Structure formats: C-alpha cells, structure tokens
Amino acid sequence: MREYVINRPAPDAMGRILDQAGPEGIVLRLAWQAGLSRDEISALTWDQVSFLDSRLELPARMVPLEADLRSALWRLYEANHEVSPRVVLSSRGKTPMAPESISRLARLALDREGQTHVRLMDLRHDWILRQLMDKDWAEVARISGVEVPALQARFSSHVPEKKNAPRSSAQVDEFKLWRVLQAERGTPAGLALWLTWQLGLQAQEIISLTWDQVDFSRDALRFEDRELPLTNAVRRILEDTRRKRRSGDPPQVLLTERSRKPLDLPRLSRMTRAALIRGGMEHTLLRDLRRDENREDEDARLLEAAQRGPLSRGDVMALLGLSKTAAYGRLHRLTEQKRLVRIGGKYYPPESVVPPERHWETIRTYLTQAGFAYRQDIAQLLRIRPKQCTLLLRHLVEDGELIQTGQKYFLPEKRGKKAE
C-alpha cells in the first residue's frame, strides 16, 4: 500500500503566520491547533465556541481548545461577535468567508512564509499526528471525526507503534450510553446497541436475527434455546425498523442502510464502535455492554432492595454511590427491561403492584361495585404508597374520570348513589 503523504509545516513559520492579525491567522490556527477542515472553518459560529468548557462543539464532534487558540478566539470574539455569528470574517467587508476564499487566503499566507508544499488539509493532518503522540486511536477518532480504521490506514506509518495494553471489561457509563442510544435510535448501529444493552444479545445473534424470530404478539424474541422478553424501547425501535422494510429485503432484521444487505461481524463491529466513539465512549466495546458483571451485581442489589420496599432515585444514589443522572439511568433501564415498575417517583417489583396500564380499569371495576372509595382503599387495591396514590387520583379527577367529594372518590355516574 502506498504511504499516505503528509506535508508537515515548519513550526517557526507557523508561529509567524499565527501571529498575523488578519483572518488568515485564525484560519490557520483553527486548522493547525484544532484540526478543523476548510468547510468547518467556514461554517464555524460563536455558538459552537464554548469558552467555559474550552472546546469547539461541532455538529459531529467536540474538539478541545488549546490555551493559545482559546485566547486568540476570545480576542476575536470581543472584536467581532456583535458583527456576525460567524467566527471567520473577511478583513474588508466583515462578511462570512466561503470555503474557496478560505483556501485562497491560506495558500497566500503559507506561500509568504515559504510553506509552498503545505496545504490547508496538511495542517489538519499535522494536528491529528500530534494528537496521536499522546492519545490512543479511539480518542483521536472521537475528536477528529475520522473513524479508527481510516486513521490507522492513513497515519499508522507516521507515528510510533501503539501497543494495546491488556484490557479488562470497561465500566459502562449509563448516562453517556443513554445519550448514544437516543442519538443512534434510527440506525442499524443504534438497534444493535439496544439489543446488546437491554436484551444481552451476542454479536452473532444480532446479525443472524430474522423477522420470523420477532414475536410482537408475545413481546418476545425467539431463539432455539430461549425466549427473551422485549423491552418497551426495543419493541418501538423494532416496529420502526419493520415499517422501513422494502419489498425484496432479506429476512434479517439488521441491514446496511444503502445496499440493504445483511451485516457481517466486521461491519457490525465498525458501526457500533464508531457510534460509541461519537458519543464519547471510546474505551467501551460492544461486548462491554453485556459483560458488565459489576452492573449485574448492582442490579441484583437494587432488585433485592425493591423487595423490601419501593425505591426512589435517592435510594439508588445512596445504595450504589451514583450521581443523580446515573441513578435515573439505572432505574430507567430496569424499568425498560420490565424488572421494575415506575409509579410516580417510586419503583416497585412488577409482581408486587397493579401495573400502571391497569390502574384505571382496576379502580373503575372496584367503584362500580362499591360505589365510592377513600384514598387508602385505592392505595391498598393497587398496592402502592399513599403519596403515589394521591398523585394518581388527582390526575383522574382533573381528567374528569373521577369525582372527589371530601375524602371520597366516585365514578361520575355513581355520585348520586353515594353512600352516606
């Protein structure tokens, strides 16, 4: 394979160019100190520059800001942010610069300092090489927007060999994962992540899964050796995926988006790896989502605690030492897996309460026979705490499903027959 050519600039020449006050200075800074492409430089707006977090928040990635670049951007912001939302403006008219104009400006600035062999693209590539000196492939993929295989193909011959350290199963950041799942919801990679995370499927099972194995009537996936219940989220995504099927598609559930062919293991690995990297989970692999033994132990502790009484988010934070968002993510996943049921702000074992979808039917049947009920009667009927029952009854009264008189609750048609 022919070596990928990178024309690296002379640092002293770049230092002189970066000190220039015109737009060429900031253009070359963004390319050489943040790895932005020509089009990204042209489109960059002040809304995408986070001075508080010292990063550029681009549509496809987050790029950390070096201190020198941050200072240069801040000076430019104070001078120009009221003129235009765009960062790079022309010297004369103070108007946004088109990509072609940025290329010409960069070419002239580089030529003046004798860097005639260096292209604007080379500055981005030089930035990538510098990142690879102290970061691993996955982290550089995340901040550069280039997938790991492409990075390795282009740059591996230019950097010292990176040995892979022995790796244990990564602790999964559930909050980050939840954001990845939402961002990738409509993609094959997203569906694969959902199937792994919530149902524990192996990679081979995912690529082999056919629509004959999906039983929507029983909310289950059928395999030769077992049957797995569908979570609500996985069911919705599978339904969306089935609606997108085309005439003549193969029977497999996961297909490539363009050619509509079944995925193979290497393609599945690349797609899910890229999705996790985009979401800032560069040290997490697909297999980590189903092999997190620590997570299973913690889940078991939560489910055991729920048997003793309903859980709140605060209970989970205290029991496992999690943040508020992580505790919510843990409870949400267990609810999606139907291992807990949420009623108000409390989480119960499914077998211990009447499920929320049957609340109204159960209350209506009881009131049809009894005529009226107090709050404690309905709380005992549904096997929930009085506080959750109060919220439920309030919503039913507001919706006109029930009438409240004092401490008694009636069906609208039963009010005239209320007991004294």
Q: What is the pLDDT of residues 349-362, one digit of tens each?
A: 999 999 999 999 99
Q: Is a pLDDT exceeding 80 seen at residue 21?
A: no
3-state secondary structure of 265: helix
pLDDT tier at 402 (50, 70, 90 boundaries)? very high
**DSSP-assigned beta bridge partners for residue 404:** 409
pLDDT of residue 294: 60
Per the structure block, which two tokens stand in for 340? 């807990």
Reported as a pLDDT band with limits 50, 70 and 90, residue 162 is low
CB distance 44 to 88 below 8 Å: yes
Among candidate residues 226, 174, 234, 224, the one with its CA nearest the CA of residue 199: 234
SS3 210: strand
CB atoms within 10 A of CB 215: 12
Q: Bin 44: left if φ > 0, else alpha if -120 < ψ < 50, else beta.
A: beta
Mean pLDDT of the chain: 87
Q: What is residue 171's predicted lDDT score, i.e. its pLDDT?
A: 66
Whether 93 shows a pLDDT value over 90: the answer reads no
Report the Cα–Cα distance between both ends of the chain, in Å, rounded: 91
Q: What is the pLDDT of residue 170?
A: 56
Instruction: Read off the pLDDT of residues 178-219 as tens digits, 9 standing for 90 and up.
Output: 888 888 888 999 999 999 988 888 888 999 999 999 999 999
Q: Which of 279, 270, 281, 348 shows the shortest CA–CA distance to 309?
A: 348
Helix, strand, or coil (residue 347): strand
- Mean pLDDT, residues 4-31: 87
Domains assigned to the chain: 11-158 (1.10.443.10), 174-287 (1.10.443.10), 293-350 (1.10.10.10), 356-417 (1.10.10.10)
Region of poorest pLDDT, from 9-23, 97-111, 235-249: 9-23
**Residue 337 vs residue 1, higher pLDDT:** 337
Structure-model confidence comparison of residues 75 and 333, the more confident one: 75
What is the pLDDT at residue 45? 95
Give the pLDDT of residue 167.
47
pTM over 0.85? The answer is no
Q: How confident is the model at residue 419 (pLDDT cuts 50, 70, 90)?
A: very low
With bands split at pLDDT 50, 70 and 90, how would you rate the model's confidence at 377? Answer: very high
Query: What's residue 344's pLDDT?
Result: 84
pLDDT tens across 299-335, in order? 888 999 999 999 999 999 888 877 777 788 889 888 8
In this predicted structure, the answer to whether residue 382 has a pLDDT above a threshold of 90 is: yes
pLDDT value of residue 42: 95
pLDDT of residue 4: 66
Q: How far apart are CA 222 and CA 353, in angstroms?
A: 28
Measured in whole angstroms, the distance separating CA 341 from the mean position of its chain's CA atoms is 24
Residues in Cβ contact with 136 at an 8 Å cutoff, skipping those fewer than 6 apart? 162, 282
pLDDT at 240 over 90: yes
Q: Which carries the bigger pLDDT value, residue 147 or residue 307?
A: 307
pLDDT of 33 higher than 90:
yes
Beta-strand ranges (E) seen in 287-402 are 341-343, 346-348, 373-374
Q: Is 349 helix (H, G, I), strand (E, B) or coil?
A: coil
Amino acid at 37: S
Q: 245-296 pLDDT, tens per residue?
A: 888 999 999 999 888 999 998 889 888 988 888 888 877 888 778 755 567 7
